[in-house]
Structure 1
Amino acid sequence: MPGPGGSDRISSPGPRRSSYTEVLALAEFRAMLLVGLGEGCEVFVHSVADYAAGTLVWTCGEIGLATMFGATFAALAPADLRGRYLGLAGTACWGVGAVIGPLVGSTVFDRAGPTALWSSAAALGALLALIQLCLATPLRRRLISRSGLA
């Protein structure tokens, strides 16, 4: 799917030009890394101000993820099925996460303590960031093969 302006390529600061899908994947990588970093900071909090700073970092990451989420699924979906793709993805990711997250998080907090909770959240955030980075090339291949640009 072409990016903004109708092209699959968008300008980058350097001599190399990045594809729209590479930019999406990199933005999602950075956002997920912020989530993991912010949650990892919570391990070291000693005051309300420290907690607020960590929360600010992971909230910025979540905002980045929320904005890129729709763009990624819209890029993957055929034009006539975008609503269905976005509905299913929203339900599968945000809906299931809203149910499972508090259950797992409160169980880990209760049984293993806050350090284990925030450390595991940071590790999971870093792992998901790396997975997102690894998905950039397959995502680009899929979009190119679907659009016939190759």
Structure 2
Amino acid sequence: MPRQKAKLHAVMGGTPDEVEAAFYEALQLGDLEKLMACWADEDDIACIHPGGGRLMGAGAIRAAFEAMFAHGGAVQVRPEHIRRVDSIASAVHHVLEKVDILTPEGPSSAHVIATNVYHKTPQGWRLVVHHASPGTPEDATGHLHSPQVLH
């Protein structure tokens, strides 16, 4: 399948893996329309950025990413160490994200642990939750860590 058709297929439904690839590609390109096409058209979709509050609905999610892109353009993030739990109508992907950032001291990398939840909708697979928290490179091992805070 040519690359352009593959992109369209991913955004139009595809598989959870294809929608996830389109989501991260949209972040890397700073493409708000492509990013929003990955999300389900439901009121209860949610996005939580590291250290941020819960954003509910497409309007709030769009505004947050629009502001993010306006303040620095594309987000240089690459998904690594993806773990999947898939079923007939939903998929949960636990992802270690490597984010390249520019600090006053120069280029650096940060790690984020994200959970991406996909549902099979009438339009095909769509993202319904992206929940990201600060992480470390050690999170890639998948070993259990002692919790620092119990809730």
**Structure 1 length-normalised TM:** 0.31
Q: Which has the higher helix share?
A: 1
Q: Which has the higher strand share?
A: 2
Highest relative contact order (Cα 8 Å, sep 6+), 1 or 2? 1
**Structure 2 length-normalised TM:** 0.30
